Structure 1
Amino acid sequence: MADSVPKASLYYYPPSIWCAAVLLCLEEKGYSEEEIDKKVVDLSKGENYALSFLRLNPKATVPTLVAPLEKTLSAEVESRFKALTETKTIIEFLDKSRSAFSRTNTTSSAPAPALAPATIAFTTVSNSIIDLLHSDEAHPGAARWYNARDEATLAKICPSLQAFFAAKRDAIAASLAESEKGAIQASAKTKKFWEDKSTAASEFAQLFGDGEKPESELSPEAKAKREEYFNTAKLVWETNLRNVLTRLSKEMIGPHALGDQLSLADLHLGAWLARLVTLAGGDISDKGDVAIGKLEKHIGNGFALPKDFQWTPARRDDTSEVKPVVQSKLAAFWDAVRERPSWKKVYANGLH
């Protein structure tokens, strides 16, 4: 692609669940590697709180897509850009931007299938599923942070999480210090944002810093914090995520969200489900029944999704008997997406 042609820039963090959804979209839509500049923002080092990134996205979240405005795509016009900061908006933009009707200066000859639902009814279902996956009840960050309901499990997960929140706290502290010295110019609103995020990160860093200590060694305040943590963890997994999985099972058609064809909702669902299966001890090699079985067991209290999706495998030869397969819709979904080239590329190094 010529240097004079404006390109979009994707700011992302490879282990991020919603960045994975966008990467799946890029693969499914057939974008070439040259069409979008990918810039890593290392969340583990708190780079999303740097003032330079906050100017692009004041919410400090990834993915963020900085895309040229349609009217400035011509090489003769000075390019102007807009930052898209919501995963749903980014994926919809990427879907529309590479099609038979778009003006994208594509360098790829790969097919560009439309992923948006074709009917109003399907659009309603798709939006409902996507909104559910991005709701507070389904928050994948909460699932990760509160993935311990006993002391033994807490001790296992606390080292990595303590390091993550400590790095975030320290990165914000460095920015605040530079601002106080006048080395960088930050608004009062940005400073308040930093302070609020620093407080939250410090509390988590302290909680996970004590995670390997037995309860008998904790101060009364630390004991109360741990009890509060376990109560929240039970709420997240045994109530919130249980409800979300149940609703998903009811709303999706199977094997994909809207039936046989991959659509926008599947990109969100695939990335979200990959995170939950990972937290439940699943692996990329797991087939659908195994992966969802591990997730059901992790939810606990005998939770099980209804096995209400039936399909018939292709006949291998004229003499072989073909029996229908009955499984949960999410298990069928997992089996469908794990075979796609996009899934194999995005999760080449394992689930996350």
Structure 2
Amino acid sequence: MSKPVLYTFGGSVWAAAPELAVAELYPDGAIDTKVVNLVQGENFSPSFIKLNPNATLPTLEADGKAYTSTRDVIAYLVENGSRPVKRGTSFIDIIHEDKLDPNFALLLSRNDEELKVKGAGLVSAFLSGRQDALHKFSTSTEATPFKAFYEAKIAANGGLLGIYKGEVADAAKEGFFKQSQAHYDTIAAFVNQDLPNYLPASGFIGGEEPGEDDFHLGAWMARIVLTLGAKTSEEAAQAVEKSYGKPLPEKVAAYWRAWVSRPSWKKVYAEGLH
């Protein structure tokens, strides 16, 4: 039987979640990996859309089947891992709600200053790379069955790119700033008020070792801390306090320390948070 194949990318927030699970639950080499470069829009190739109609990472091919959501990929990895861990709960649904979306947390800008900084950096390059890829792939003959998909993606990504390129009316830009501030505030409230209620005093939701919920939450937290200015795990506490005006709640801080001390975390985030 061929080995499972995990489609991943080093800059993807949700692809890091199964990478943590693989590092925790599988011996080296048990799962093959294939890199799909999101910055270059490789996930929008017709061949990848055939595999995953959502064109998202992570994606897992195993036992002749494609698993195309973070939840399903991790559920498979947990179910077939080398040791049992605590299975997931409804918390997984919560951390994947749109209002807590870690991808928009990276792409948002709350004012002109943030817009200028992000527009000169990775965010603009990411959006431009996606748009170029969408236009390129959408004109191929293989893309014909996915015409509606490409049209929707080109419009949505192009709208966001237009904001960063200064090509939209002031009213649209101000609306984006308000949407961004609301998203930022919602995540801040979740981290400071709601998240501690789901966490134990020490260790993980899954117990002394990470469980299924923890693979999702660990990856989510890494991205959120990155958006607050931390490039490495060690910079997290300072970045959060600077952004939120207060330290992480003790339960959240203890949870972060539990994760960053593990070999799996150090492996997945060896080159920094993402």
Q: Which residue of 2 aligns with 1:257?
A: 205
Distance 1:185 1:345 in 2: 37
Residues 234 and 21 (structure 1 numbering): CA distance in 2 closer, same or farther, change over 3 Å? Answer: same
Q: Take 1:144 and 1:89, find their aligned partners in 2: how far apart are those partners?
A: 24
CA distance in 1, matches of 2:39, 2:4: 24
Give 1:222's match in structure 2, choosing from 169, 179, 189. 169
How far off its partner does 1:296 sit?
4.8
CA RMSD of aligned residues (A): 1.9
1:209 to 160, 165, 172: 165
**2:60 touches 2:67 (CA, 8 Å); kept in 1?**
yes
Name the CA shift for 1:56/1:138 in 2 (closer, same or farther; >3 Å): same
Whether the aligned pair in 1 keeps the contact of 2:137 and 2:143 (CA below 8 Å) is: no
- Secondary structure of 1:260's partner? coil
Structure 1 stretches of 5 or more lacking a match?
69-80, 99-111, 118-125, 211-218, 307-327
- Of structures 1 and 2, the one with the larger relative CO (CA 8 A, separation 6+) is 2
Q: Distance in 2 between matches of 1:278 and 1:176?
A: 32
1:215 maps to none
5 Å matches for 1:96-245?
Answer: 96-98=79-81, 112-117=82-87, 126-146=88-108, 148-159=109-120, 160-179=122-141, 184=142, 186-187=144-145, 190-210=146-166, 221-238=168-185, 240-245=186-191
Aligned to 1:247: 194
Compute the displacement of 1:235 (Å): 0.4
Instruction: Tell me the equivalent position of 2:27.
Output: 31
Tell me by how many angstroms 1:278 deviates: 0.9
Deviation at 1:128, TM superposition (A): 2.7
After superposition, what is the alpha-carbon deviation per residue over 1:179-235, rounded to whole angstroms, capped at 9, x for unaligned?
Answer: 3xxxx3621xx101100000111111111112xxxxxxxx8x521122111101110
Distance in 2 separating the partners of 1:283 and 1:207: 25
Q: Which has the larger radius of gyration?
A: 1
Q: What is the alpha-carbon distance in structure 1 between the residues aligned to residue 152 and residue 90 of structure 2?
A: 31
Q: Which residue type is aligned with residue 140 of structure 1?
A: P
TM superposition shift of 1:271: 0.8
How many percent of aligned residue pairs carry the same amino acid? 34
User: Is the 1:163–1:205 Cα contact (8 Å) retained in structure 2?
Assistant: no
Amino acid at match of 1:330: V
State the Cα distance separating 1:113 from its structure 2 match: 2.8
Q: CA deviation at 1:12?
A: 1.2
String of CA shifts for 1:126-166, please: whole Å, max 9, x gaps. 423221111111101110111x3222222111132222112
Amino acid at match of 2:69: E
| One-letter code aligned to 2:114 | T
The answer to whether the 8 Å contact 2:134/2:150 transfers is: yes
* Cα distance, 1:44 vs structure 2: 0.7
Query: Could you tell me how far apart the structure 1 residues matched to 2:190 and 2:233 are?
Result: 24
2:17 alignment counterpart: 21
Contact 1:249 1:305 in 2 (8 A): no
Alpha-carbon distance between aligned partners in 1 of 2:209 and 2:201, rounded to the nearest angstrom: 9
Structure 1: distance between partners of 2:66 and 2:241: 38
Structure 2: tracts of 5 or more residues without a match: none
Aligned counterparts of 2:107 and 2:114: Cα–Cα separation in 1: 12
Looking at secondary structure, tell me which structure has more helix per residue. 2
Choose the corresponding residue for 1:46, options 41, 48, 52.
41
Residue from 89, 93, 97 that aligns with 2:72: 89
Say if 2:95 and 2:217, in contact at 8 Å, map to a contact too: yes
Query: How does 1:198-347 map onto structure 2 within 5 Å?
Result: 198-210=154-166, 221-238=168-185, 240-245=186-191, 246-255=193-202, 256-286=204-234, 291-292=236-237, 294-298=239-243, 300=244, 302=245, 306=249, 328-347=250-269
Contact 2:124 2:161 in 1 (8 A): yes
Q: Structure 1 runs of 4+ off > 4 angstroms?
A: 302-306
Report what 2:7 is aligned to.
11
